[in-house]
Amino acid sequence: MQILAFVAFTVVVAVISYLKTRSTKESTLDGYFLGGRSLTAGVIAGSLLLTNLSTEQIVGLNGSAYQSGLSVMVWETLAAIAMVVTAIYLLPRYLKGGITTVPQFLQDRFDTSTKTITSGLFLTGYVVVLLPIILYSGSIALSGMFNVPELLGVSKSSALKICIWGIGIVGSIYAIFGGLKAVAVSDSINAIGLLIGGLLIPIFGLLLIGDNDLFNGLSILTNENPEKFKSLGTQTDPVPFHTIFTGMMLVQLFYWGTNQQIIQRALGAKNLKEGQKGILLASFIKILGPIIVVLPGLIAYHVFKSDLTSADEAYPMLVKKVLPDAWVGFFAAVLFGAILSSFNSVLNSSVTLFGMDIYKQHINKEASDKKVVRYGKLFGIVLALLAMIIAPLIEKAGSLFAYLQEVNGIYSIPILTIIVVGYFTKRVPAIAAKIGLVTGCILYILSQFILQPYFVEKALNNAKLNGNMTSESALALIEAKAYPHFLDVMAILFVLNIIIMLVVGKLYPLSIPYKIQYTKQVDITPWKYVNFVSIGIVLVVIAIYIYFA
């Protein structure tokens, strides 16, 4: 029964996606890569949310909440503010220039080699880290939910590989052969399912705590665990409060404003109004995100206390305990949709970057739109196969998960830096952007993978000699004090890179100042309520922090 519900919901999504996209001209660049620049607010919002939300976030963030409490909600709430900034300042510029990829703007602003380097950094991050992790974490969730090893009579490793290839093949069909519109439409349908399924878990959890009384359950949860309901993270928490004002906002701006995987949805908007409405709708819903990705972790702490061997078990164990059997197939299908969304979104963005910024630019400049799309699809197939081959290897490299956000900083902050300088200055030259990219990557690698391990190990050795390592909390505090938080390092390097680029711009300024040219591909008249709604969203976020402080 569970498997039938799973298959039925998945097939319904596929059929609707096909019917909605069969008239789109996928042989053109805009048709394939940007959904024909026809996406409306609802589709954009749903696709943004599903692209962002997947198993590594649902399981991981709830695990962090189980361990550290409400302070980890910053990954959701601060995202809302970053999306407001994107809607007001970045999207109008993107659509005015008629760009298909973020690196395309860098070509217009700086030069072709800057664009190529940036595309290479994006693709490296996607292929080496993001795609395999999405496949691996999603396969772990589905294999456990359906008990695939027992169902098929195979080992856990074999079951993992079967799930990885199953997810990879289905996701590839959506992303490679359907283009952005197929991805976006399927995302929108799955978004509804995920919101329903995601809300059911905390509801059933609170009913369990409150003896079938939802509000009584919430009252018991907050009154008996007050230490978990603090919005301000301490120095030893995953996100200390002060980092909100340093690197956290930069990470969010990069992710929601410049990351090709995300911003591509808004670039496919039929006009600026729809794009802004879509981003702000997603922003408002994002504020409610902690109900799905944080609250279950807090409920799990109340239900299981410290009995779990790993914090990442919090969400799966809670689902297993509170979800009625009749809902398991539906929830698994929704989770499958979330996994597919992240996988095919990254893959579609990778195909776009290769087709537009590498194949057409450096391999075949005279290629027709149809040929660019065809070779982009071939590249996508190779990329998907590589991801499916690499994903099982992560089973022996668990530390990769812990360092995911940290590793992404290698390319995220340098790219964000040159985009910010590119938009807000007019005479900084291309050489400054190249220097910013290279120095940003090198300094971050030096800081996080050479200096940080050295100073942390030195601090722990000193503490061991002095007999200070008496508890887990003391150990965490020693590590926190030994070296700046990686989000602080990002902020320091962001400022340093900007200074370097401005100095180079002062010494070697462009003779002709840069000016964005309006391509008139879409109407860029802003939504008349954009400022009013944006202010409202920011005030709600601030109110939440004040209330839980």
Give the per-residue pLDDT at 184.
58
Amino acid occupying residue 439: T
Question: Number of C-alpha atoms within 13 angstroms, CB side, residue 61?
Answer: 24
From CA 105, how far away is CA 93, in angstroms rounded? Answer: 9
Helix (H, G, I), strand (E, B) or coil at 269: strand
Phi and psi dihedrals of 269, rounded to 5?
Answer: -65, 145
Q: Any idea which residue has 């300094």 for tokens?
A: 443
Q: Any idea which residue has 């993270």 for tokens?
A: 233
Q: What are the sequence ranges of the domains in the chain?
A: 2-6+30-396+519-548, 402-518
Q: Any idea which residue has 């702000």 for tokens?
A: 280
Question: Number of C-alpha atoms within 13 angstroms, CB side, residue 458?
Answer: 9
From CA 407, how far away is CA 133, in angstroms rounded? Answer: 13
Can you give the pTM of this predicted structure? 0.81
From CA 184, how far away is CA 193, in angstroms rounded? Answer: 15
Give the per-residue pLDDT at 398.
46
Give the per-residue pLDDT at 399.
44
In CATH, what number does 2-6+30-396+519-548 get?
1.20.1730.10
Phi and psi dihedrals of 523, rounded to 5?
Answer: -70, 130
Classify residue 180 by its DSSP letter: H
Q: Which of 167, 145, 174, 171 is nearest to 391 (CA)?
A: 167
Q: Tens place of pLDDT for every residue, the chain, 549 residues?
A: 556 655 665 566 556 555 555 555 444 444 444 445 667 888 888 878 877 777 777 877 888 888 888 988 988 899 999 999 999 999 998 888 887 777 778 888 999 889 888 888 888 887 777 888 888 877 877 777 777 888 788 887 888 889 889 888 877 776 565 544 555 566 666 667 777 878 889 999 999 999 999 999 999 999 998 888 888 888 778 888 889 888 999 999 998 998 877 887 788 888 899 999 999 999 998 998 898 889 999 999 999 887 777 777 788 778 878 888 777 777 777 777 777 777 777 777 777 778 877 888 788 887 777 787 778 778 888 888 888 888 887 766 544 445 567 778 888 899 999 999 998 899 999 999 999 999 999 999 999 889 988 888 888 888 777 766 556 666 667 777 778 888 999 999 999 999 999 999 999 999 999 988 888 888 889 999 999 999 999 999 999 988 887
Amino acid occupying residue 176: I
- CB-based contact 325:2 (threshold 8 Å): yes
From CA 523, how far away is CA 527, in angstroms rounded? Answer: 11
Three-class SS of 337-374: HHHHHHHHHHHHHHHHHHHHHHHHHHHCCCCCHHHHHH
Kindly give the residue spans of alpha helices, DSSP state H, lying in 397-529: 399-402, 404-424, 430-446, 452-466, 472-482, 486-507
Q: Any idea which residue has 């997947």 for tokens?
A: 54
Within its chain, how far is the Cα of 295 from the centroid?
19
Q: What share of the chain is helix, strand, coil (3-state, %, to 5)?
A: 80, 0, 20
Phi and psi dihedrals of 271, rounded to 5?
Answer: -165, 175
Give the per-residue pLDDT at 307.
78
Give the per-residue pLDDT at 62.
86
